């Protein structure tokens, strides 16, 4: 479904692939100008050119490392310089490391936390400096169904970071609400991105873990995530804040 985001300016981190690419397409289709932020400039440029040509919106690809505070500050400054403002921020950058607890190093833990959680804090802080004076804005944090519990996958730092995003979402919604800035989260289930494709294509994992906890009679397609983000950024969701919208085929219903 296309939402009316005509002329809005959206920043999407982790925009070079996976769900980030889907968010870029969803917002552009709904009329928003999009800043694509990630490390792989070749992919960003390709997606930006395709989206701009297809939907007739402005796109700005920016090479940034979300673990670096200076890069996040530069992202916000360049967005305002190029497009004038910031209406929507999607904190989508994410990664995981699969290791048992006793093999996890502090460096492993810190890397996942910096990419998944600290980057969202930094981007939200800097975007809020633009949104607060105009008393308008929407921040969307991409969490996970794994924020609510573990699985047989040994991804402790990933689960913890995604749970932290849920708490951050609620805390920011309360703090920024009086400034008319809405903060929500999306908790995707298993989508066939590069991060999850291996697990989905593994017959044993799919049949033992994924399919039994998918209430609907099909697994996800990547483009099915677009509507949730566009809805939360739109006027249709103007009285929704502090909410976590699961897009999981019913995973959390079990």
pLDDT in tens, the chain (254 residues): 679 999 999 999 999 999 999 999 999 999 999 999 999 999 999 999 999 999 999 999 999 999 999 999 999 999 999 999 999 999 999 999 999 999 999 999 999 999 999 999 999 999 999 999 999 999 999 999 999 998 888 899 999 999 999 999 999 999 999 999 999 999 999 999 988 888 899 898 999 999 999 999 999 999 999 999 999 999 999 999 999 999 999 999 99
The full length of the chain comes to 254
Enzyme catalytic residues: 158
How far is Cα of residue 135 from the mean position of the Cα atoms in its chain?
22
What is the value of pTM for the model shown? 0.97
Distance CA 122, CA 124 (A): 5
Q: Is 149 left (phi over 0), alpha (psi -120 to 50) or beta?
A: left
Which CATH class for the 9-253 domain? alpha beta
Pair 34, 59: CB distance under 8 Å: yes
Question: Which residues, in sequence order, are CB contacts of 22 under 8 Å at separation 6+?
Answer: 222, 223, 225, 226
């Amino acid at each position: 479904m296309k939402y009316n985001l005509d002329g809005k300016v959206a920043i999407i981190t982790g925009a070079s692939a996976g769900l980030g690419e889907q968010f870029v397409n969803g917002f552009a289709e709904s009329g928003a100008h999009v800043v694509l932020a990630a490390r792989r400039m070749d992919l960003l440029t390709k997606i930006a050119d395709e989206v701009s040509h297809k939907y007739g919106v402005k796109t700005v690809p920016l090479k940034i490392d979300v673990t670096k505070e200076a890069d996040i500050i530069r992202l916000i400054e360049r967005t305002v310089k190029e497009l004038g403002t910031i209406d929507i921020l999607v904190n989508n950058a994410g990664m995981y490391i699969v290791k048992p607890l006793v093999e996890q190093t502090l460096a492993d833990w810190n890397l996942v936390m910096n990419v998944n959680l600290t980057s969202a804090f930094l981007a939200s802080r800097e975007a809020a400096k633009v949104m607060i004076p105009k008393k308008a804005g929407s921040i969307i944090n991409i969490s996970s169904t794994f924020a609510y519990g573990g699985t047989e996958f040994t991804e402790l730092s990933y689960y913890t970071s995604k749970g932290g995003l849920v708490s951050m979402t609620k805390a920011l919604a309360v703090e920024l609400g009086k400034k008319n800035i809405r903060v929500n989260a999306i908790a995707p289930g298993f989508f066939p991105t590069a991060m999850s494709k291996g697990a989905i294509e593994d017959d044993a994992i799919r049949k033992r873990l994924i399919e039994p906890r998918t209430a609907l009679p099909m697994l996800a397609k990547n483009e099915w995530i677009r509507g949730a983000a566009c809805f939360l950024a739109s006027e249709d969701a103007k009285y929704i804040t502090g909410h976590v919208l699961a897009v999981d085929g019913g995973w959390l219903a079990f």
